Structures are given as C-alpha cells and as structure tokens.
Amino acid sequence: MKTRAQISLTDFVDFVIKNGMPRLTKVREIKDRDDYHPYKDFWRQVREGISEMHNRDYSTDYLDEIAQRQTDPRKIKRFPEAIASYKKFLGRKKVTWFDPPKEKWVMGDLTININPELGLVINDRPYLIKLFFKDEKLDKRKSEVVFHIMEEQLRYKVSPDTNMSILDVKSSKLLTPTTPPDNVSILLRAEANTFMQILG
C-alpha cells in the first residue's frame, strides 16, 4: 500500500530547515508519534487562550488566569514568560479579531495542515498570524517556508491587503515578508518528495 502522510505546518518547517541525520530523526519522530491528544500539546492552552481572548474581546487578564491555573512545573515557569512576551507585542496597539481561514497543502501523498492561529486587524492593517513558541531562533529560511505556504494556500480566502505573518512569541516580534521569496515553490515540492521518500 502506498504511504500517505498528513502533518502540521510546524512539523514540515522543522524538517525543511534540517540537514543530514537530523532530517531522518525528525521523520522518525513524526512517524512514531502517538495520535494527537490535547494534554500532550504543551502550548495549547496559551495558543487557544490568545485566540479566545481576541475573539471574545477579553482583557489580557484572561491569559494571566490561564498561567495561574497550571500545576505542571514546566508550564508554571514557561507560560508566564510567553504571556508577558505576547502582552509586550500587543502594547498599546488597536487590535480587532477576524476568523483565520484554514486550508490543506497537498503535494503528492503528503498533506500539510495550515492553521494560522490569529486573524487580527492591528492599527487598521489585517494580519494572518502563525504563532511560534519555540526557543530556537526563527531564521529567514524557516520564515520563508511559512510565508510561502500561507501565501499560496490562503491568499484567496482573505482580503488582498492581508499580511501573512509569524509572531515570534519569545522575542515579541511580528515577522512579515516585504517581497515574495524566489523559487521557494520549487524547493518546497522537492522537500515534500524527500520527506515522503524518507518516510517510506
């Protein structure tokens, strides 16, 4: 039977930016991973809490309450840090919510789920935002992968002036491309084929 796979955009980006043996390790990790369970998703409560706060027009106290409910020592430490960084990003900006679209990017036998967490109009400019919580540096190459896939698959679902963006939560920085990257589409299709070859 032919192998088919469905993975998250985050997993695909992690694969693309790696070289050599770490690529094999990443594919094995994805292949051997148990089915998704919310309790195993470390950042789920913060991620969903941010969306809920904007969607329901709550104050940022809502996020602080999420942090205060934690019992896991790692979350007790990490959640307040992430929330403080997100609040720093918001600052005094005028922010309103719109529902972010979702889509799937299908390349051969590989399907990638594209689920940006936030649709925000910030100071009268619309942004479709993917949240990035990891400690590792969000470099240009990783950013270009996300920008391109979001642009290719979600552009038709949003207004022409919507910015495809990534929020590096740790640094409180919103990253938005100024010009479309060259030849990324060809690269990504090749990477999708490589992923499936390794997956077997």
Q: Do 149 and 192 belong together in one domain?
A: yes
At 98, list the tokens: 């719109």
Domain boundary among 53, 68, 92: 92
Rounded distance between C-alpha atoms, residue 118 and residue 45, angstroms: 14
Q: Do 45 and 59 belong together in one domain?
A: yes
Tens of pLDDT, residue by residue over 162-198, are 999 999 999 999 998 876 656 788 888 899 999 999 9
Rounded distance between C-alpha atoms, residue 153 and residue 109, angstroms: 17
Residue type, 55: N
Count of domains in the chain?
2
Q: Which domain holds residue 163?
A: 5-37+96-199
Q: Do 23 and 44 belong together in one domain?
A: no
Domain boundary among 50, 72, 92: 92
Tens of pLDDT, residue by residue over 75-101, are 999 999 999 999 999 999 999 999 999
Tens of pLDDT, residue by residue over 105-145, are 998 899 999 999 999 999 999 999 999 998 887 777 778 88
Given pLDDT bands bounded at 50, 70 and 90, which one contains residue 36?
low
Q: Do 137 and 84 belong together in one domain?
A: no
User: When comparing pLDDT for 184 and 152, which is higher?
Assistant: 152
Catalogue the long-range contacts made by 72-78 (C-beta closer than 8 Å, 24 or more residues apart): 74/42, 75/42, 75/45, 78/42
Rounded distance between C-alpha atoms, residue 82 and residue 48, angstroms: 13
Q: Do 64 and 105 belong together in one domain?
A: no
Rounded mean pLDDT, 42-64: 96
Residue that is written with structure tokens 């935002």 in the block? 129
DSSP per-residue letters across 59-103 = -THHHHHHHHT--SHHHHHHHHHHHHHHHHHHTT--EEE-PPP-E
Give the global pTM. 0.90
